[in-house]
């Protein structure tokens, strides 16, 4: 196995294929059912059943903004109520500040709600309802940065844009014993990465049962004692 460069994740094309395949397989079997991923509930009398619903770029944007600084478990109900009240950009663009504040109460960071409305207004008025599809176009919306634009572009439009945050950097760094932060910053794959981050143990463990467990154990054995110590203590981040 070739030595990892301090400026690279050190994965060969074959390594990347293995990691990608394991992550996607784990995600399909273990992913949480969430409304912004197209997991809906249909009620018929006293019966409830899960149904697939379309994944909209607007819905993905709303979820990504709500999930900033907020746990998934908290966001689910807020998201469902929000989408029932304002199902698209045109509806949100007409919302009053009082309505926004009432719907956002409890989530904190109210500026996020104002930025969401500003983004909806731009799509509805300036773009005549056309939602931007590329990460670069999405970054032109108010309040949308690198991470959010990449998440929406990849999940909603299937664009091959990496979605990288501190959790991804920590996982990859510990897998490959990277001491320096990597400089590199598509729907299911990106969702799988975020799901893995959310559900993995904070401590890197040899008996890890989260996604990529077998890959992590393989790299763990190959790292060498010094590299393992760095990874274990979190210095790889």
Beta carbons of 31 and 45 less than 8 angstroms apart: no
First-to-final CA distance of the chain: 22
| CA-wise closest residue to 173 among 9, 7, 17 | 9
Total Cβ atoms within 10 A of residue 27: 19
> Which one, of 201, 194, 116, lies nearest residue 151 by Cα?
194
Asked if residue 100 lies in contact with residue 66, where contact means CB atoms within 8 angstroms, the answer is no
Q: Which of 2, 1, 10 is nearest to 172 (CA)?
A: 10
Q: Distance between CA 205 and CA 210 in Å, rounded?
A: 10
Q: DSSP state, 46?
A: T
H/E element holding 121?
A: helix 111-121
Q: Token pair of 89, please? A: 């950009």
Catalytic residue among 64, 121, 193, 195: 64
Q: Is 64 a catalytic residue?
A: yes
Q: Parallel, antiparallel, or unpaired for β 47-52 and 39-44?
A: antiparallel
Q: Catalogue the active-site residues.
A: 64
């Amino acid at each position: 196995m070739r030595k990892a460069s301090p400026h690279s994740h050190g994965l060969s094309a074959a390594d990347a294929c293995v990691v990608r395949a394991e992550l996607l397989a784990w995600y399909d079997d273990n992913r949480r059912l969430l409304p912004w991923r197209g997991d809906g509930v249909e009620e018929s009398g006293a019966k409830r059943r899960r149904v697939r619903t379309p994944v909209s770029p607007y819905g993905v944007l709303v979820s990504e903004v709500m999930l900033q600084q907020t746990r998934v478990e908290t966001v689910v109900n807020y998201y469902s109520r929000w989408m029932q009240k304002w199902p698209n950009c045109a509806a949100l663009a007409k919302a009053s500040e009082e309505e926004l504040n009432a719907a956002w109460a409890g989530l904190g960071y109210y500026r996020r709600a104002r930025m969401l409305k500003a983004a909806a207004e731009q799509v509805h008025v300036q773009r005549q309802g056309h939602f931007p599809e590329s990460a670069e176009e999405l970054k032109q919306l108010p309040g949308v940065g690198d991470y959010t634009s990449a998440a929406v572009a990849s999940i909603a439009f299937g664009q091959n844009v990496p979605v990288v945050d501190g959790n991804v950097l920590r996982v990859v760094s510990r897998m490959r014993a990277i001491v320096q932060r990597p400089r590199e910053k598509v729907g299911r794959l990106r969702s799988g990465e975020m799901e893995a981050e959310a559900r993995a143990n904070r401590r890197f463990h040899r008996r890890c049962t989260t996604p990529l467990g077998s890959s992590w154990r393989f790299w763990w054995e190959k790292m060498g004692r010094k590299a393992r110590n760095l990874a274990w203590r979190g210095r790889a981040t």
